[in-house]
A and B are shown apart, each in its own frame.
Chain A
Amino acid sequence: MYNYVEDGDSKTTAYVEKDTNKYNAFMNRIEAGEKIEADDWMPEEYRQALIKLISMHGISEIMGALPEKEWVPKAPTLKRKLGIMAKVQDEMGHGQLLLRVTEDLMKPYGKNREDLIQDLLNGDLKFHNVFHMPTKTWADAGMVGWLVDGAAIISQTNMLDASYGPYQRALQRICAEEVFHAQHGEAIIMALAEGTPYQREILQESLNRWWPSLLMFFGPSTAATTGSSKQDVMIKYGIRKSTNEELRLAFLDKYLPRVFSLGLTVPDKSVRYDEDTGKWAYQQPDWQEFKQIIRNKGPRSKERLRLREIAYENNSWVRKALAPQPATH
């Protein structure tokens, strides 16, 4: 479901490709709309940007399944339980697809899936800000499906024409399944919005809590905000089309009218549609807090990483049992 985390840590340095002939031929291919494949020559900067983007996307799918699966035993009806189980399974499936894409890109460095999992557990591989946050009520399960997935759909559909073939193909499948996720979330939200005063109350409370995370989802508008930004590189190489700010505004455009139509409010008094600019005006979230969250200092960062670690340890015997060479100890 999720992609694109601004990492906020690594410094952006100007990239210079040594082999200008190859570089120019590569850029011509991108401009002609050709798709780059895993074994094609590609500039180091392109490979690195893809690895960073797609590993974060893949790992975030898996880390995103963790807070969602907590709601499987607590879902209010059998139908809701089946729906959310299907969604959790989809997220794990998306993670598998995206890790495969990343692994093929990392091959020249001799890195594989174990390295990715270790990087995650060490804190070197970051996952999306929204999955560092707690879920408190059933309304959160709906909110994640409706608006968190909604935000993900905005940023992922922006890459449906991405220049990198394997990622572009994975995204076609992922986005098609996201349509189901979005409607699954809408169904939960709609039931609560048309429900009892208590149901409406937990819905509003959930939206108030998720609002800053939803704005943060798209990353800061410029590198100046958090020290680094990969958006220019992504656009230069035809991986995505729009800037973080354009995507955030597109999200507000599509979803705010729906939020208000349900009688909900957002916890930002300055939110209004500016007729002159044709854009929503809103208050920026706290980008320093964002930086802390994605450095695994969010409210649930440690617990979620620990869950992943436990799953990895608990399944170790399966890997051992299936290993082609029996373990020697």
Chain B
Amino acid sequence: MGKNEESGFYQEYEVFSKRSVKSPIQHQFSLLAPNEEMALSMAQENFMRREDVIDVWVVKRTNIRSMNSQEREQWTKRLNNKDYRTTKGYGYLRKKWREKEQGMLDEKEIMSWKEVKGT
């Protein structure tokens, strides 16, 4: 098979994997494969030789609408004025509650409420 016949043979795939049920899906790298099945098999060979893995996604690169260079620049240079969306904008409450002899129900405290006493 000559060079010209082979061009178009390989497709670019992006590979994603998931380490455990609790972990988010993570981008690994890209690879070339002629079809999805080969891409999945190559993903196993290329990226999962040692790693724990419970799921693998292969996505044809042409099916991903990623940001271009300009778009990335716009997003990384946006204004840092979103305190009102985060707990950072409400940090003064800690002092207020302390005056009333109460602790702050912060993220650490609230995220620890998996178990309720007495259940």
Contact = CB atoms under 8 A, between A and B. Distances in A.
Interface stretch (A12-20, A112-120, A187-195): A112-120
A90 B49 contact: yes
Given A40-B69, A113-B32, A170-B29, A86 B49 contact: yes
Nearest to B6: A114
Chain B interface, >50% SS class: mixed
- Secondary structure call for the A interface: helix
Top 9 A-B residue pairs of the complex, sorted by shortest distance between their CB atoms: A322-B34, A40-B69, A93-B46, A100-B30, A320-B1, A114-B3, A316-B1, A96-B46, A39-B69
B5 interface: yes
Given A41-B69, A170-B29, A112 B10 contact: yes
A103 interface: yes
A104 B49 CA distance: 24
Contacts of A90: 49
A157 B3 CA distance: 36
Given A103-B32, A113-B32, A114-B3, A324 B68 contact: no
B3 A96 contact: no
Given A93-B45, A322-B35, A323-B34, A118 B9 contact: no
Counting contact residues on chain B (CB < 8 A from A), the size range is 20 to 34
Contact of A118 (B3, B31, B42, B45): B3
Interface string A82-125: 00001001100100110110011000000011100010000000
A327 interface: yes
A319 interface: yes
Interface string A15-32: 000000000000000000
B65 to A, nearest CB: 13
Interface string A293-326: 0000000000000000000000010011011110
B38 interface: yes
A327 B35 contact: no
Contacts of A325: 8
Interface in A153-199: 169-170, 173
